[in-house]
Structure 1
Amino acid sequence: MIEVELKGYANDKIFEKVRERFKFMRKETHEDIYYQHPCRDFSKTDEALRIRIKRFNGHFEAFLTYKGPKLDNMSKTRKEIEVPISDVDAYSDLLTSLGFKEVLTIVKVREKYYVEKGVTITLDEVEGLGKFIEIEKLIKDNENIEEEVKKLRKILEVLGVKKFERKSYLELLLEKLKKNGSEI
Structure 2
Amino acid sequence: SIDNRIGAFIVLEALRILKAEGGEMAAQVTAAATTQEEIGFSGGGARACAYALDPQVALVVDVSFATDSPGMEKKEIGSHRLGGGPILARGSATHPLVFERLAETAEKEGIPFSIQANPRFTSTDADSIYLSRAGVATGVISIPNRYMHSPNEIVSLDDLDAAARLIAAFVRGLGKDTDFTPR
> TM class, shorter-chain normalised?
under 0.3
TM-score, length of structure 1 as denominator length: 0.27
Higher-strand-fraction structure: 1
Bigger radius of gyration = 1
Higher-helix-fraction structure: 2
